Amino acid sequence: MPNKKELGLAVVGCGVVGRIRATLAKDFPGIGWIGLSDMNERVGQDLKDDIDADYFTTDFRKLIVRPEVDAVIVATSTWGHVEPTLASVDAGHMLLIEKPLATDARESAEVLEAIQKAGVDAVVGYTQRFRRRFLVVKERIKTGQIGDVTAAVTRAFMNRMAPTGEVRLTQDRRYLTPMVVSGTHSLDMCLWLMGDAAKPVSIYARSTEKVMSELGTKDATFGVFTMEDGTIWSMNICWALPKEWPGAVYGLEIGIVGTKGVIDIEDTHRDVILASELPQGPAYNPDGLTIDVIRNVDFLTSFPPGDMYGGELWGPMREETNSWFQRIYNGKSTPHATAAEGHRNLLLTMAMDLSAKRGMELELPIDPVELMAGLEA
């Protein structure tokens, strides 16, 4: 086999996810150069020192235009993906973008158009696609084991630690809702499992905000989608459970009924429980976040990226990241979410928010401009 050129990787955002992915990049033999960028110089320099990266700057633009760069990971805060993504597309780089593409549907459409026009390979970080249980379910549905899907239900439960961490760095929290930030993972999963036949044509949703309103966001959003073929799908998320709730981050249940069978997924992580006199720290612990509760019980394996062993992360984010390295280095086909799927997911989560705001059913698909006008009204 002829020697391949080692790739240069830029990681924009050195927080929890950026650190995980950059650390994995250090060990991938096809990556020969790593550059980092973060607005927080201390956070970025710490990561540079820890993985012996080649370059650090607080200006992502300086990083992206470096001649060594072939591919970019965009791992900034939820609301900060647009500018580094567009700059990377302009430079022609391959991309792994944390979800969502944007928190404004119009900007998301702009990003998708730029990606498609440039023809760059860009995927979106939906880590749960790389878990064994969901991959096997996807294969069984794809090969017709339950026939044609007729109904589906999705329920996600989260405690308040994740939204508390999510909203801490911005005062503009209008679109940092349960669906846009976290429900999008379970929404993507269910749509991915159901396959190409899952084409929503309407959504009716309701929300509540009795607990999380003090942080400028909602408690929960429940909705019912109707598909083009008449399939119905209930999609529900609540991220306002008490901080003491043992699920470190995500507890998920999915049921999919078909004409020839059913698949029922219990993913609440209550099968491995730790109870201790010692406090259990938060799985999601970004720099500068203080969790003001003591948790003595933990549902192990409920942190979506994975779990630590021997100082390294093991689990779906490791699988996802290393699979992406194989994708960009060896051209391997992978189950990553495409940019088009990422944009679709944002539109659907925001459509749920708009339906809840109006208290009425919305027809789908909905134009991004119309969608944002409704949310901003």
Fold equal for 7-128+319-338 and 131-304: no
What are the φ and ψ backbone dihedral angles of 253, each rounded to 5 degrees?
-130, 135
- DSSP at 250: -
Torsion of CA 126, 127, 130, 135, to 10 degrees: -50
Alpha-carbon span 230 to 118, nearest angstrom: 36
Which segments in the chain show pLDDT lower than 50? 1
Indicate the Cα dihedral angle 213, 168, 293, 307, nearest 10°.
120
Give the whole-angstrom CA distance, residue 66 versus residue 87.
12
Residue 294: what pLDDT? Answer: 85
- Say which CATH topology domain 131-304 has: Dihydrodipicolinate Reductase; domain 2 (3.30.360)
User: Which two three-digit tokens encode residue 342?
Assistant: 């990422």
Structure tokens at 132: 């064994």
Give CA angle at 101 (115, 97), nearest 5°.
75
Burial tier of 86 (Cβ tally within 10 Å: 0-12, 13-18, 19+): middle
Task: Please name the helix (run of DSSP H) or strand (run of DSSP E) that holds residue 341, with its range, or none.
Answer: helix 339-358
Q: Is 190 helix (H, G, I), strand (E, B) or coil?
A: helix
Give the contacts of 81 (CB within 8 A, at least 6 positions apart). Answer: 74, 97, 98, 100, 101, 102, 111
Beta bridge partners, 96, equal: 73, 123
Give yes or no for a cis peptide into 335 (omega within 30° of 0): no
Instruction: Give the model's pLDDT for residue 342.
Output: 98
pLDDT value, residue 215: 85
The CATH architecture assigned to 7-128+319-338 reads 3-Layer(aba) Sandwich (3.40)
Q: Check residue 169 and give its pLDDT.
A: 62
Instruction: Name which of 56, 52, 64, 20 is nearest 39 in CA terms.
Output: 56
> What is the residue whose two structure tokens read 């799927």?
341
Contact 63, 12 (CB under 8 A): yes
Dihedral sign from CA coordinates of 305, 308, 312, 315: negative
Region for residue 311 given its phi and psi (left: phi exceeds 0; alpha: psi -120 to 50; beta: otherwise)? left
Q: Which two tokens stand for residue 73?
A: 């990971």
Do 11 and 63 touch, CB atoms closer than 8 A? no
Q: Please state the domain extents for the chain.
A: 7-128+319-338, 131-304
Per residue in 294-352, pLDDT (tens digit) is 889 999 999 999 999 998 999 999 999 999 999 999 999 999 999 999 999 999 999 99
CA-to-CA distance for 321 and 130, rounded, in angstroms?
10
> Which of 39, 40, 36 shows the shortest CA–CA distance to 9?
36
pTM, whole model, 2 decimals? 0.94
